[in-house]
Amino acid sequence: MKKAIFLQVLTFCLVAAGAQAQSLTPQVVASGGGYAQGGGYSLSYTIGEPVTATLTSGSNILTQGFHQPDFQNIVKLLAKVYLEGAFNGANMNTTLSTLPAFPLTQPYNTAPWNYNGAEGVATLPANVVDWLYVELRDATFAPVAGGKRAVFLLSDGTLRDVDGTPGASFLGAVPGNYYVIVRHRNHLAVMSASQVGLPNASVYDFTTAAAQAFGVNQQKALTGGVFGLYAADFDANGVITVADFNFYANTGSQTNVYNDADANLDKQITVSDFNLYQPNASVIGIQQVRY
Ligand SMILES: [Ca+2]
Ligand SMILES: [Ca+2]
């Protein structure tokens, strides 16, 4: 009897290859088998076990027995975004993630997102700015199966999945061309200017130009010639209006909190957050990102 303890390693390697993953650890009785590792890949095999499926992705081929029964496509997105509120001229502040109350599970399970994903971690990775909620849309901007994922935003603007790998891991999505929507709790959401072929080997970089986001005036020019999401869409409905001011005003001053009224993500709700709202009032997100 050979325990399939290699599965986690196998999962990691195949995710890195933009292929498949699963998470079961069942056992199987087989007449023989083995395990090998090298070059960033691991392989296990059993002899005498019926093959139940053959999976391919790019140049990777995997035949699957019944002790590896639950493979699921993972499509990887690599992207980079800045949040105006957290941006410090070079990268983004990670002040918020020093809070004891910083959530270890994704916070987009409330209105307006109502995303019920189970993304969470036991301990935060390094350099976390906050959680993001990322969506894939098809050519008609419609949601796609498996096209929702909450991930960490790191100080350099890159994404970090809760599975420990760079980027966002869309479980159950299929490789293809997608518009990518990036949402944050209190910044104006953006969508990629064009469809992005996923999995992507090079990062889709929203920060290099306003026009990396779909539509006119959907990103703000930041210090240093880079661009980021507009701060202070406090109610995250895709437009920055007096309703956002009211959200801020009704929340009132607070310290050491994880709260949507904290536009600059410094754990405090102060006039600094209003000062981010004021110049951004009346910025309107494209239809695809509005709730
Ligand atoms: Ca709003
Ligand atoms: Ca603040």
* DSSP secondary structure string for all residues of 49-112: PPEEEEEEETTEEEEEETTS---EEEEEE-EE--BTTTB-SSSB--GGGGSTT--SB-S-SSTT
Residue where the block lists tokens 């699921």: 72
Distance (Å) from CA 239 to ligand 1 centroid = 4
Distance (Å) from CA 80 to ligand 2 centroid = 23
User: In the numeric block, which tokens belong to residue 43?
Assistant: 């392989």
- With b for 16 or more beta-carbon neighbours within 10 A and e for fewer, the 85-115 pattern comes to bbbeeeebbbbbbeeeeeeeebbbeeeebeb
Are 280 and 232 a contacting pair, CB within 8 Å? yes
CATH topology of domain 75-289: Immunoglobulin-like (2.60.40)
Are 195 and 175 a contacting pair, CB within 8 Å? no
Q: What is the mean pLDDT of residues 181-196?
A: 98
Domain boundaries, the chain: 2-70, 75-289
pLDDT at 16: 44
Distance (Å) from CA 95 to ligand 2 centroid = 10
16 compared with 194, residue with greater pLDDT: 194
Q: What is the mean pLDDT of residues 132-136?
A: 98
Which ligand has the shortest distance to the CA of 290?
1
Query: pLDDT band for position 271 (50/70/90)?
Result: very high
pLDDT at 72: 74
Of the listed ranges 37-51, 161-175, 186-200, the one predicted with least confidence: 37-51
Distance (Å) from CA 261 to ligand 2 centroid = 7
pLDDT at 57: 58
Distance (Å) from CA 138 to ligand 2 centroid = 36
Of the listed ranges 14-23, 170-179, 274-283, the one predicted with least confidence: 14-23
Q: Which residues surround ligand 1, an ion (CB under 5 A)?
A: 233, 235, 237, 244
Distance (Å) from CA 197 to ligand 1 centroid = 30
pLDDT at 1: 41
Which ligand has the shortest distance to the CA of 283?
1
Cis omega (within 30 of 0) for bond into 143 = no
Of the listed ranges 24-33, 174-183, 277-286, the one predicted with least confidence: 24-33
Triad 208, 140, 159: Cα angle to 5°: 35
Distance (Å) from CA 119 to ligand 1 centroid = 25
User: In the numeric block, which tokens belong to residue 152?
Assistant: 């960490």
Query: Average pLDDT, whole number, for the chain?
Result: 87
Distance (Å) from CA 272 to ligand 2 centroid = 6
Q: What is the pLDDT of residues 99-112, one digit of tens each?
A: 999 999 999 999 99
| Number of Cα atoms under 13 Å in the Cβ half of residue 277 | 27
Distance (Å) from CA 242 to ligand 1 centroid = 8
Q: Is 3's pLDDT higher than 80?
A: no
Q: What is the pTM of this model?
A: 0.79
CB atoms inside a 10 Å sphere around CB 198: 23
H-only helix segments in the chain? 7-16, 242-251, 271-280
* Rounded distance between C-alpha atoms, residue 12 and residue 24, angstroms: 14
- Residue 57 makes CB contacts below 8 A (sequence gap 6+) with 14, 17, 18, 19, 20, 175
Q: What is the mean pLDDT of residues 134-144?
A: 98
Q: What is the mean pLDDT of residues 64-74?
A: 64
* Rounded distance between C-alpha atoms, residue 285 and residue 291, angstroms: 10
Q: What is the pLDDT of residues 194-239, one digit of tens each?
A: 999 999 999 999 999 999 999 999 999 999 999 999 999 999 999 9
Distance (Å) from CA 238 to ligand 2 centroid = 20
Distance (Å) from CA 102 to ligand 2 centroid = 14
DSSP assignment letter at 234: T
Q: What is the mean pLDDT of residues 149-177?
A: 97
pLDDT at 233: 98
